[in-house]
Amino acid sequence: MPYGYHGRWLHVQLQPLQATEQQLPEEVLRRFLGGVGLGTWLLLHLEAWRHEALTPQAPLAFVFSPLVGSPLTTSAKFAVVSRSPLTGRINDSLSSSRFALAGKRTGYDALVVTGQAPELSVLVLDSGGVRLLPAGDLAGLSCSATQARLQQRLGPEFAVAVIGPAGEAQVPFATISHEGRHAGRGGAGAVLGAKRLKAVAVHGDRHVRWAHPEQMAALAQELAARSLGPETAKYRQLGTLANVSVFNRLEVLPARNFQESSLPGAERLSVEQLRQDELPHERESCWACTIGCEHRYQPPGSTGSVRLEYESVYALGAMCGVEDPQAVLRAAQACDEAGLDTISTGATLAFAMECVQRGWLDEPWLRFGSAEALHRAIHLLVTGHGVGKLLALGSRRMARQLGPQALAIAPQVKGLELPGYDLRRLPAAALGLAVNSRGADHNRSSTYEVDFATDAPQGDEQLVRQAIAREDQAAVMDSLILCKFLRGVFRDFYREAARMLWVATGWNLSAAALRTTARRIVTARRLFNILCGWQPQEDELPPRVFQPAASAANPSAHLDRRRFERLRRLYYHQRGWTSEGWVPLEQLQQLGLDVVASALQPE
Amino acid sequence: MGTTTVELFGLARLRTGVRRVELPPGTLGQVLQELQRRLPALAGWCVQDGRLAPGFIVSVNRQYFTQDPQVELAPGDVVLLISADPGG
């Protein structure tokens, strides 16, 4: 058995309840590492493309990594990987803290659930094996109430991942929550809900061995010291909310469903204003993290505090035209409690607001700038009452019901709602979101870094090369799994990642080998999508980003359609794919992905 | 003669209580030196001796990002002093 891993995964079938231990060959671990990479391998291995996301047979994988349990900063993370009910394509969400540590201590590198429980249940995995506990009394409870109830019932030694009412209702952008943090994007919570699981609880005492524990301790100490440097200062001192005022001034803060690229009252939502107003505030961090990026604010009249991130303020605030920080705080809290992705929720509501504005949807109360409408719409979305049933489809499916004109303004790629980067001025980000396997997701691509770089690319070929480099690095970080906020700390990422793997596993991997691993993981995710039925027209952006924002100071600030198409062609070329984005069989063979290549052959 | 405008964000704004400063044009290094002289609370952690501290960049006229102290700034130019990491 390799160091750092258990070398096996557990397949839990829910009805009849059965747990089967499966070996993980070292070759697979070397090729896919863990997290997002190993999760993708599991989906391919289980032929998950054959099942729609919300069917009982669809696998849902909780995947750990070789670094979980180590003292390396930010390493207490896990990935939740499945087919997405929102996009129909691959989905891999990350979350962190005790569930990662306790989950790996069960003795498995991944836990895969298939089937459907006979009734709403909690899946428990501990040294006694797996069992289902009835959870009828938890039906309809919020994420935090469910968590509290289960910790009381099972004991504090268990770590629990739960869904809220949104997951139970199978809203396709429902999250899985763990101690207030969310595996947020793409609807993993709906997949768990479709299996009639309100929660998964894990506890174990099986530790892995480290190949070089002394060197690991030294490396952890050194990395921790570096993690407190200027590269992470923004996250420690202010959090991601620091983006609001800056992005607004740069006109890259999407507002009112991407009709605008800034919001006149956005300063009210800025961290500078919240601090100046002395809103009660506290800072927290994930387990095994030295950065501590979480900044929580307490809404007036509330006993609890809310973790406030830039993306939540973008989606629930700027996108919906809501400038009242208290209203946005309460909306973020409502999403957290219901178990809803704040980005998809806010963007879908903003899309609906514009449909009302244009007369395509007869809900006159649902208008931009109304805090009351924002809160009412979230409530309806969760309960499924009235227009809530439509809102709960997400922007793409909702648009399909409203007509082709609505689809043109739906803020999504592959069905996943856009994050808070106005693509009109950010060509690398635009490319990254268009081609990404998960859809409009900034975390798996990180290509926006190219747009903000001080060493601006010289020409489009270099831009694409740099975008691919960011995407590849993200694939390895998400498989190790390490927090993205560490990225600025690394001086030579692949060399340092190889060293981390060496202290954990003993593998003597070269930086070049890890670069190939990155390519393999990116390509495997695309391969999964192709097997799901991906078509070239899916690597597309909403038409709106090719037009200027309504009130842009510089009307020429928009993405040129022909340039975007050129960037996409260059991307495919540099990836070694066909001009339409298909992966040639030879490349699959080179990357060791040809085991499923036969499925790509035309019938 | 016109001025170059420097706009402050995040901690730079919170620690100085200043949103915007008008400064004589020159190189970015000269502008930063004058900024530090006027707002000593920025010294060391944000600007130092005509250079940006690690972790900071500037946007010039919202057209490009730089840390280069040799960049020439003209009258009317607007410089946004921001974090180097745009992650959200």
Q: How far apart are CA A193 and CA A197, in angstroms?
A: 5
Distance from A209 to chain B by nearest Cα, in Å?
Answer: 34
CA angle A365, A367, A372 (to 5 degrees): 65
3-state SS, residue A498: helix
Chain B residues with beta carbon closer than 8 angstroms to that of A421: 88
What structural domains and CATH numbers belong to chain B?
Answer: 4-83 (3.10.20.30)
Residue A330 has pLDDT above 60, yes or no: yes
Is A555 in the B-facing interface, judged by CB distances under 8 Å? no
Distance from CA of A250 to the nearest CA of B (A): 6
- The C-alpha of A419 sits at a distance from chain B's nearest C-alpha, in angstroms, of 9
Quick one: pLDDT at residue A302?
A: 79
State the pLDDT at residue A103: 98
Mean pLDDT to the nearest integer, A518-539: 98
What percentage of chain A reaches a pLDDT higher than 90?
94
Average pLDDT over residues A468-483: 98
Give per-residue pLDDT as tens, A581-595. 999 999 999 999 987
Examine the pLDDT at A204 and tell me if it is beyond 70: yes
Burial class (CB in 10 A: 0-12, 13-18, 19+), A125: buried
Cβ of B54 and A229 within 8 Å?
yes
Collect all residues with Cβ–Cβ distance below 8 Å to A499 and sequence separation of at least 6. Answer: A219
Residue of A nearest to B12 (CA): A272
Cβ separation A246–B83 shorter than 8 A: yes
* CB within 8 Å: A242 and B83: yes
Which of B7, B10, B86 is opposite residue A449, by nearest beta carbon? B86
CB atoms within 10 A of CB A40: 31
CB contact under 8 A, A250 and B80: yes
Nearest CA in chain B to A483: B87
Helix (H) or strand (E) holding B6, with range, is strand B4-8
Provide the pLDDT for residue A599. 55
- What residues are paired with A129 via a beta bridge? A126
Tens digit of each residue's pLDDT (9 = 90 or more) over A259-318: 999 999 999 999 999 999 888 889 999 999 999 999 999 887 877 889 999 999 999 999
How many Å lie between the alpha carbon of B17 and the closest alpha carbon of chain A?
10
> Confidence class of residue A603 from pLDDT cuts 50, 70 and 90?
very low
B9 to A484: CB separation less than 8 angstroms, yes or no: no
Quick check: A523 and A229 in contact, CB under 8 A?
Answer: no
Return the DSSP state at A7: S
Mean pLDDT of A392-421: 97
Partnered with residue A159 across adjacent β-strands are A202
CA distance A421 to chain B (A): 9
CA A243 to chain B, closest CA, distance in angstroms equals 7
CB contact under 8 A, A452 and B65: yes
Which residues lie closer than 8 Å to A239 by C-beta, 6 or more apart? Answer: A271, A283, A293, A294, A295, A308, A309, A310
Return the residue in A272, A443, A483, A484 with the most chain B beta carbons within 10 A, the one to mutate for interface testing: A272
> Looking at residue A597, what is its pLDDT?
61
Q: Do B82 and A246 touch (CB under 8 A)?
A: yes
> What is the distance between the terminal CA atoms of chain A, rounded to a whole angstrom?
40
The structural domains of chain A, ordered by start, are: 8-202 (3.60.9.10), 239-417 (1.10.569.10), 427-484+492-600 (1.10.599.10)
Summarised one tens digit per residue, pLDDT across range B65-75 is 999 999 999 99
Distance CA A322, CA A327 (A): 8
Mean pLDDT score of chain A: 96
User: For the sheet containing A17-23, what is the strand order?
Assistant: A17-23, A8-14, A110-114, A60-63, A77-83, A90-96
**Partner-chain contact A231 B88, CB within 8 Å:** no
Give Cβ neighbours of residue A107 (< 8 Å, ≥ 6 apart). Answer: A6, A8, A204, A206
Q: Strand A181-183 and strand A129-134: pairing? A: unpaired
- Decide: helix, strand or coil at residue A303: coil
> Tens digits of per-residue pLDDT, A541-558?
999 999 999 877 777 778
- The phi and psi torsions of A178 (rounded to 5 degrees) equal -140, 110
Q: Which chain B residues touch A if contact means CB-CB below 8 Å? A: 7, 9-11, 13-14, 45, 53-57, 59, 62, 64-68, 80, 82-88
A478 touches chain B (CB under 8 A): no
Predicted local distance difference test score (pLDDT) of residue A600 = 54
Q: Give the pLDDT band (50/70/90) at residue A598.
A: low
Angstrom CA distances, A103 to A8, A64, A152, A158, A308, stand at: 13, 8, 19, 9, 27
Q: Does A275 touch chain B (CB under 8 A)?
A: yes
Residues B20-65 have pLDDT tens digits of: 999 999 999 999 999 999 999 999 999 999 999 999 999 999 999 9
> What are the tens digits of pLDDT across the range A56-110?
999 999 999 999 999 999 999 999 999 999 999 999 999 999 999 999 999 999 9
pLDDT score at A301: 80
Q: Which among A230, A243, A314 has the least Cβ separation from residue B86?
A: A243
- CB count within 10 Å of CB B46 equals 24
Contact A111, A14 (CB under 8 A): no
Give the number of residues written for chain B. Answer: 88
The C-alpha atoms of residue A249 and residue A73 are separated, in whole angstroms, by: 33
Cα nearest neighbour of B82 on chain A:
A246
Say yes or no: ipTM exceeds 0.90. Answer: yes
From CA A441, how far away is CA A500, in angstroms rounded? Answer: 27
CB A432 within 8 A of CB A471: yes
Whether residue B10 and residue A271 make contact (CB cut-off 8 A), yes or no, is yes
Cα(A442)–Cα(A175) distance, integer angstroms: 17
The pLDDT tens digits of the residues spanning A128-149 come to 999 999 999 999 999 999 999 9
Q: Of the candidates B62, B68, B86, which has its C-beta nearest A251's C-beta?
A: B62
Size of interface A-B (CB pairs under 8 A): 89
